Amino acid sequence: MVATGAFYTGEYRNLLAEYGYDKDEIENRVQETWERLFSDKYPETQIYFSVGDDLGYMLDTGNDDVRTEGMSYGMMMAVQMDKKDIFDRLWNWSMKYMYMEEGENAGYFAWSCATDGTKNAYGPAPDGEEYYAMALFFASHRWGDGEGIFNYKKHAQELLHRCIHKGEDGHGYPMWNRDNKLIKFVPGVEFSDPSYHLPHFYELFALWSFEEDREFWKEAAKESRKYIAKAAHPETGLSPEYAFYDGTPNHIRGFGHFFSDSYRVAPNIALDYEWFKDNACPVVVNEKIQAFFADKDPEDYRRYKINGEPFEEKSLHPVGLIATNAVASLSTSGENARKAVELFWNTPVRTGGRRYYDNCLYLFSLLALSGKYKIWMP
Ligand SMILES: O[C@@H]1[C@@H](O)[C@H](O[C@@H]2CO[C@@H](O[C@@H]3CO[C@@H](O)[C@H](O)[C@H]3O)[C@H](O)[C@H]2O)OC[C@H]1O
């Protein structure tokens, strides 16, 4: 099938099987990992919690809060795993507690809440909104739309419309810069976070958003692919957490280095390549990242300057980094690709206080590497 521009491959490689891992074991690993994250049978690895009959949240165990990032990730995991009850609980919790009805950010979601639903902040984080929109479209296509907040498609379209038009009436700010089509770190600033760029989502938004918004998303996909390439260091492939629109690191509050946020750049490139194989997809960045980590000991992963110089500080999410380096192999080949997958396969999901971010990245990588992270078409 041909989307407008990029080619939708419709193919999902089971790379783990291609590398010789047993298909039943792969399937078991996927099911078991889902259980480990979403079931209270496994309190040491659990990050999802049900509340009452129709609510649930993802807990950032490291920060003891509920983030739009995790809620929207949980919804994406649930739709890929065909878990409608969990999806609806997460969306219900998001709409009940995180959605903002008033103020400068009305129509967006508060990026962090306490587990009782109290808002910790009245600002959004755009990576949450874009994952919500994509998960809602997939839910609409996989399960059909319901009433009210469960009219998934309507909510996805309206949210995306707001993300690019907010502020046109003088109140608040859009989440994308309307001139250069790049996603912002937060609506009120003019810089970006390379890991927020999801051209493979924007290709689909260009098909399913309101007609008037489709051209914008098509352009956004193109500009994001260019931006991802620009923000990555030319030798190491490492991207900073925050970067200016020209791709140079933004060192505000120490976020100009390769650390937690940055890990998501590799899987974003890999999934874009898997889904669309667009010529402009910067797969070379993933080749460089895998080459950079090929001789690094996972026990000693650090914070790095994007030129590769290590800080004393250890990585906060080494399991997440193992996972994201592995999924990069969907867009690379050779020994580094194989070794990164092997390391991931031999690494268990994380236990302990910091497990949330690692385990989110772990399940996403496992889904993609087993051919189970799919586009759900209408
Ligand atoms: O200042 C906040 C800003 O922090 C917020 O960003 C969200 C939080 O950080 C990002 O992910 C984290 C990566 O590090 C792990 O240790 C954390 O557990 C993750 O949550 C996340 O992608 C952002 O959404 O955005 C709003 C700003 O006001």
Instruction: Give whole-number Cα distances, 133 to 1, 69, 104, 195, 308, in Å.
Output: 22, 12, 21, 17, 35
In the block, residue with structure tokens 């109140």: 171
Q: Which residue has the least CA distance to atom 11 on ligand 1?
A: 261
Q: How far is the CA of 144 from the centre of ligand 1 (A)?
A: 31
What is the set of domains in the chain, with CATH numbers? 1-46+234-377 (1.50.10.10)
> Mean pLDDT across the stretch 308-337?
98
- What is the ipTM, given to two decimal places? 0.96
CA distance 355 to 357: 6
| Helices and strands in the chain: count of H runs, count of E runs | 13, 6
Q: Which of 284, 364, 375 is nearest to 331 (CA)?
A: 284
Q: Which atom in ligand 1 lies closest to the alpha carbon of residue 127?
A: 24
- 79-116 residue pLDDT tens: 999 999 999 999 999 999 999 999 999 999 999 999 99
pLDDT score of 4 more than 60:
no
Known catalytic residue at 358: no
Q: Which residue has the least CA distance to atom 27 on ligand 1?
A: 125
**Is the entire prediction scored with pTM above 0.95?**
yes
pLDDT score of 78 more than 50:
yes
Q: What is the pLDDT at residue 7?
A: 65
